[in-house]
């Protein structure tokens, strides 16, 4: 078969590798790797960060005073009312943003307005659903010292396992129960403060998922629904069964509760000053960028893993706010999605045989923690695979080559049930349709429930959701090869292959595809992008 | 029942321990001189007991339960009930009561296995509505405690042997069984079951639990 010919392009997002192209830089957990791609390979770069709003506080005030399809917030506040404000948890944005966090800015505006209107009965709830509860310092960082001192810990907690404080407000016509936090349901007004990082965030998902319990969330977080999703990042109902069910449940929320939704969109400026060069094309790096990269690489290669994580976690992301909308959930979400896609959407023509990607050190589920093997899996097949609209970036039965050291490193405080899932359940098989029968055992395990309720652990069932998240990708991709895996047992346990270096991985890919010159694409994410792929 | 959840008691289900219990007995000796003598002896012996516990739970039991020598069996029974009502009941970890409810609902038999003496455990076991409980027995001769425990003494490895025997005799799969404890002295028992859990663990147990990826629970 003829080698794909390099095509001349002026598309700023697309670059084709030729003889003069140097290596491309990919994430390798807490380190980086330089990859020399075959000639003719395509590299897809995210859009540059959009210009942030000049005055975020003014934008917040404008949004809550001129909401979409709702009365202005001040008109909904009155003395003696019961108000609950729910906020997104630490899983957004990634990495945590430079202070002040957008949630703190919005909460400050809302609480000032409440004080002026005599509203005193106020609860803040971090909408964790089955995610881990945040620690005091994490909450303080997110909402600021003043708000933290006023509300922590009693009025900042959603406990999905507190049966007395979960209430069912109704069922959809498909008998999906909508079971939510009692305080939020019984409030005269629920304000939801969202941070939108990827297009599947926000909208009805904020309330119906963030504030629900296991019974409710299991209606859509299951293998059947995941297999019916063509892309989690495309919220159209014919593309995402998940979005369809969530919207159905959201309609019950709209009917039974008074929700004032505030959504925000961030640009993709995720690298702090020290790592700024990673967000640019390698070809445009200055000498200083190259020196910075070599210096940071030298340091990261020489220090232990825990120190590497500390170094990277200490660099917050200088995200800029690019939109704030408030009002009724659906129109607000629609506007935010439009802005989000302006930032994230990258038009791409043609699929590839081999998709190459680096896995970074952070995911929504391991902030201040380690990226364990299940999370590596969810980053590859759950997120990177799903960052598309139209058709997947990779052809059916194509090969995904990912870069990650793949250590069996679990945070026992945050991910206790992951350990059992990884060692016991994945030893029995990797097919979700076979292993989902163990889901209930984990969900009802009293030890994991206690660790979720009173510790900082993800709910016992969470590793199943992480595995289901990869279902659509697993069903589509023919082979996943982990390049540079330092513990080969990890890829094997995940049902993947491994290769010591990129050349070997490419040989394995060629052999699997039966093509001597497969079409190779490197997804240069992060920063996040959503490829609008035309087959 | 599909399997058993075994619980240590002191430090695991309640925040009291055997020394608290004896202190209560000492304070309630009927004579003033006896009260002073037993309380003072206990107070000065505390560092020694701490040292004895480090040498091994069996050695600790041998020296500690000597304190009960001469106490009337009936009195032990009455004071056990009193101790529960006045001291232990309010020190039961509510989180563990919830956990036991969920565990029972899952189909696990609830069984206490403790080194405390039976007079103290009986009211707690009734309160927790457990399926079975096993505690140490003080040797009693002519209605009076001798200060020795009736062998086999439930402590350390003996608890492990007991748990294994119990599961086999009742046809339970040990791999499915759970055990909960707070102290490194219970590591043998925890190692016996397929699902060990450390509850408010001491440093020794925490290190072991961390090394072996056992769940660690904070309960109050």
* pLDDT per position as a tens digit, A124-135: 999 999 999 999
Q: Domain tally for chain A?
A: 2
Most confident residue range from A438-452, B60-74, B139-153: A438-452
For the residues A442-465, what does the mean pLDDT come to? 96
Q: Let me know whether A202 and A295 are in one domain.
A: no
Q: For residue A515, what is the domain's CATH number? A: 3.90.226.30
* Band (A5; pLDDT cuts 50, 70, 90): low
What is the distance between the alpha carbons of residues A392 and A378, in angstroms, rounded to a whole number? 16
Asked, for residue A255, whether it belongs to a domain, the answer is no
Using an 8 Å Cβ cutoff, are A53 and A320 in contact?
yes
Asked, for residue A300, whether it belongs to a domain, the answer is yes
Q: Let me know whether A36 and A92 are in one domain.
A: no
Q: Let me know whether A19 and A68 are in one domain.
A: no
Contact assignment for B215 to A410 by CB distance below 8 Å: no
Contacts of residue A310, Cβ cutoff 8 Å, sequence gap at least 6: none
Which of B99, B178, B195 has its CB closest to that of A450?
A: B99
What is the distance between the alpha carbons of residues A193 and A509, in angstroms, rounded to a whole number? 45
Q: Is the dihedral of CA B1, B2, B6, B12 positive or negative?
A: negative
Out of A232, A266, A300, a domain closes at A266
- Give the residue numbers spanning the domain of A356: 14-45+273-315+350-534
Nearest CA in chain A to B213: A412
Using an 8 Å Cβ cutoff, are A161 and A56 in contact?
no
Contact assignment for A450 to B219 by CB distance below 8 Å: yes
pLDDT in tens, B110-138: 999 999 899 989 999 999 999 999 999 99
Q: How many CA atoms lie within 13 A of A149 on its CB side?
A: 3
Contact assignment for B99 to A419 by CB distance below 8 Å: no
Q: Provide the mean pLDDT of chain A.
A: 94
Q: Let me know whether A285 and A429 are in one domain.
A: yes
Distance of CA A520 to the CA centre of its chain: 25
Q: Let me know whether A206 and A301 are in one domain.
A: no
Q: Let me know whether A120 and A180 are in one domain.
A: yes
Q: How many CA atoms lie within 13 A of A67 on its CB side?
A: 21
For residue B149, pLDDT over 60 is answered with yes
- B133: distance to nearest CA of chain A, Å? 20
| Of residues A527, A534, A396, A525, the one with CA closest to residue A473 | A396
E-state strands within A344-424: 345-349, 352-360, 388-390, 394-403
Contact assignment for B220 to A455 by CB distance below 8 Å: no
Q: Let me know whether A63 and A37 are in one domain.
A: no
Structure-token match 């005055």, residue found: A55
Contact assignment for B178 to A448 by CB distance below 8 Å: no
Query: Which residues on chain A are in Cβ contact (under 8 Å) with B181?
Result: none
DSSP-based helix, strand, coil % in chain A, nearest 5: 40, 20, 40
- Which SS3 state, helix, strand or coil, does residue A121 take? strand
What's this model's pTM, rounded to 2 decimal places? 0.90
* Band (A450; pLDDT cuts 50, 70, 90): very high
- Which SS3 state, helix, strand or coil, does residue A227 take? helix
Q: Report how many Cβ contacts below 8 Å link chain A to chain B.
A: 46
pLDDT in tens, A216-263: 999 999 999 999 888 888 888 888 999 999 999 999 999 999 999 999
For residue A316, pLDDT over 70 is answered with yes
Q: Let me know whether A189 and A300 are in one domain.
A: no
CA distances B168 to B172, B175, B177, Å, are: 6, 11, 11
Mutate to test the interface with B, among A447, A451, A456, A460 (most CBs of B within 10 A): A447
Alpha helices in A45-101 (DSSP H): 56-65, 73-76
Cβ burial of A21 (10 Å; 0-12, 13-18, 19+) is middle
Which of B100, B102, B216 has its CB closest to that of A449?
A: B102
Out of A228, A248, A266, a domain closes at A266
pLDDT of residue A102: 97
What is the distance between the alpha carbons of residues A410 and A447, in angstroms, rounded to a whole number? 17
Query: Which residues on chain A are in Cβ contact (under 8 Å) with B213?
Result: 410, 412, 416, 419
Contact assignment for A455 to B178 by CB distance below 8 Å: no
What is the distance between the alpha carbons of residues A358 and A524, in angstroms, rounded to a whole number? 8
What is the distance between the alpha carbons of residues A479 and B214, in angstroms, rounded to a whole number? 33
- Which SS3 state, helix, strand or coil, does residue A232 take? coil
**φ and ψ of A238, to 5 deg:** -80, -10
pLDDT of residue B70: 85
Contact assignment for A447 to B95 by CB distance below 8 Å: no
Tell me how crowded residue B34 is: count the other CB atoms within 10 A of its CB. Answer: 14
Q: Which of A273-282, A389-398, A425-434 has the weakest average pLDDT?
A: A273-282
For residue A10, pLDDT over 70 is answered with no
Contacts of residue B153, Cβ cutoff 8 Å, sequence gap at least 6: B58, B61, B115, B136
pLDDT of residue B156: 86
Report the CATH architecture of B3-217.
3-Layer(aba) Sandwich (3.40)
> In b/e form, how buried is each residue of A368-387, taking b as 16+ CB within 10 angstroms?
bbbbbbbbbbbbbbbbbbbb
pLDDT of residue B19: 73
Percent of chain A whose pLDDT exceeds 70:
98
Contact assignment for B217 to A419 by CB distance below 8 Å: no
Q: Provide the mean pLDDT of chain B.
A: 88
pLDDT of residue A3: 52
Q: Let me know whether A309 and A424 are in one domain.
A: yes
Q: Which of A321-335, B22-36, B171-185, B197-211 has the weakest average pLDDT?
A: B22-36
| Of residues A143, A141, A159, the one with CA closest to residue A151 | A143
- B126: distance to nearest CA of chain A, Å? 21
CA distances A360 to A17, A363, A371, A378, A480, Å, are: 23, 8, 9, 12, 17
Distance of CA A222 to the CA centre of its chain: 18
Q: Let me know whether A354 and A481 are in one domain.
A: yes
Structure-token match 């030890």, residue found: A447
Instruction: Domain ranges for chain B, please list them.
Output: 3-217
Q: Let me know whether A150 and A37 are in one domain.
A: no
Q: Let me know whether A39 and A177 are in one domain.
A: no
* Band (B187; pLDDT cuts 50, 70, 90): very high
Residue A346, beta-bridge partner list: A531
For residue A107, pLDDT over 60 is answered with yes
Q: For residue A198, what is the domain's CATH number? A: 3.40.50.11440
Question: Higher confidence at residue B48 or residue A245?
Answer: A245
């Amino acid at each position: 078969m003829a080698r794909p010919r390099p095509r001349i392009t002026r598309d700023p997002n697309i670059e084709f590798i030729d003889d003069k192209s140097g290596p491309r830089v990919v994430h390798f957990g807490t380190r980086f790797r330089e990859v020399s791609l075959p000639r003719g390979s395509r590299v897809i770069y995210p859009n540059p960060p959009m210009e942030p709003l000049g005055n975020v506080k003014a934008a917040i005030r404008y949004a809550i005073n001129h909401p979409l399809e709702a009365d202005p917030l001040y008109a909904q506040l009155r003395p003696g009312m019961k108000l609950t404000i729910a906020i997104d948890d630490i899983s957004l944005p990634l990495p945590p943003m430079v202070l002040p966090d957008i949630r703190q800015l919005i909460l400050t505006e809302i609480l000032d307005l409440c004080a002026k209107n005599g509203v005193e009965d106020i609860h803040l709830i971090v909408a964790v659903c089955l995610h881990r509860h945040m620690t005091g310092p994490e909450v303080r960082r997110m909402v600021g010292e003043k708000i933290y001192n006023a509300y922590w810990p009693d009025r900042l907690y959603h406990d999905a396992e507190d049966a007395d404080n979960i209430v069912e407000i109704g069922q959809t016509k498909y008998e999906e129960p909508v079971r939510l936090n009692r305080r939020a349901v019984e409030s005269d007004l629920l304000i939801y403060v969202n941070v939108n990082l990827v297009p599947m965030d926000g909208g009805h998902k904020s309330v119906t998922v963030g504030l629900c319990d296991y019974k409710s969330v299991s209606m859509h977080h299951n293998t059947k629904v995941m297999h019916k999703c063509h892309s989690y990042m495309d919220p159209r109902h014919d593309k995402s069964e998940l979005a369809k069910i969530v919207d159905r449940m959201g309609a019950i929320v709209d009917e039974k509760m008074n929700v004032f939704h505030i959504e925000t969109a961030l640009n993709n400026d995720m690298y702090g000053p020290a790592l700024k060069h990673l967000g640019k094309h390698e070809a445009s790096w200055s000498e200083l960028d190259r020196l910075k990269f070599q210096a940071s690489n030298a340091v990261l290669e020489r220090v232990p893993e825990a120190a590497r994580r500390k170094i990277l976690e200490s660099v917050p992301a200088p995200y800029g706010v690019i939109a704030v909308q408030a009002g009724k959930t659906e129109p607000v979400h629609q506007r935010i999605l439009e802005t989000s896609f302006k930032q994230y959407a990258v038009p791409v023509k043609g699929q590839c045989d081999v998709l190459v990607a680096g896995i970074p050190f952070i995911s929504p589920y391991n902030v201040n923690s380690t990226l364990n093997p299940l999370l590596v899996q969810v980053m590859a097949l759950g997120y990177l695979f799903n960052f598309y609209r139209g058709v997947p970036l990779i052809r059916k039965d194509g090969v995904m080559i990912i870069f990650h050291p793949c250590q069996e490193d679990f945070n026992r405080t945050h991910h206790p049930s992951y350990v059992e899932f990884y060692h016991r359940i994945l030893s029995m098989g990797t097919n979700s349709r076979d292993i989902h029968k163990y889901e209930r055992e984990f969900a009802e395990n009293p030890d994991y429930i206690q660790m979720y309720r009173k510790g900082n652990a993800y709910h016992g069932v969470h590793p199943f959701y992480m595995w289901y998240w990869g279902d659509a990708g697993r069903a589509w991709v023919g082979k996943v090869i982990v390049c540079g895996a330092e513990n080969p047992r990890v890829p094997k346990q995940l049902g993947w292959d491994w290769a010591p270096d990129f050349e070997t991985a490419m040989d394995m890919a060629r052999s699997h595809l039966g093509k001597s010159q497969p079409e190779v694409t490197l997804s240069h994410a992060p920063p996040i992008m959503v490829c609008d792929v035309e087959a | 029942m599909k399997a058993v959840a075994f619980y240590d008691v002191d430090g695991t289900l309640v925040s009291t321990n055997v020394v608290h219990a004896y202190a209560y007995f000492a304070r309630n000796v009927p004579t003033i001189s006896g009260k002073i003598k037993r309380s003072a002896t206990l107070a000065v012996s505390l560092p020694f007991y701490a040292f004895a516990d480090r040498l091994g739970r069996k050695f600790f039991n041998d020296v500690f339960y000597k304190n009960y020598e001469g106490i009337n069996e009936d009195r032990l029974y009455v004071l056990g009930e009193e101790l529960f009502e006045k001291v232990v009941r309010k020190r039961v970890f509510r989180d563990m009561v919830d956990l036991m409810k969920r565990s029972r609902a899952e189909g696990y038999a609830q069984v206490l296995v403790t080194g405390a003496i039976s007079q103290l455990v009986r009211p707690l076991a009734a309160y927790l509505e457990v399926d079975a409980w096993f505690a140490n027995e003080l040797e009693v001769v002519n209605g009076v405690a001798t200060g020795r425990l009736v062998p086999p003494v439930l402590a350390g490895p003996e608890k492990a042997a007991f748990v294994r025997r119990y599961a086999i005799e009742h046809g339970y799969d040990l791999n499915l069984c759970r055990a909960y404890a707070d102290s490194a002295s219970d590591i043998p028992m925890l190692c016996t079951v397929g699902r060990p859990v450390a509850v408010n663990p001491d440093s020794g147990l925490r290190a072991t639990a961390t090394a072996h990826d056992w769940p660690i629970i904070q309960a109050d």
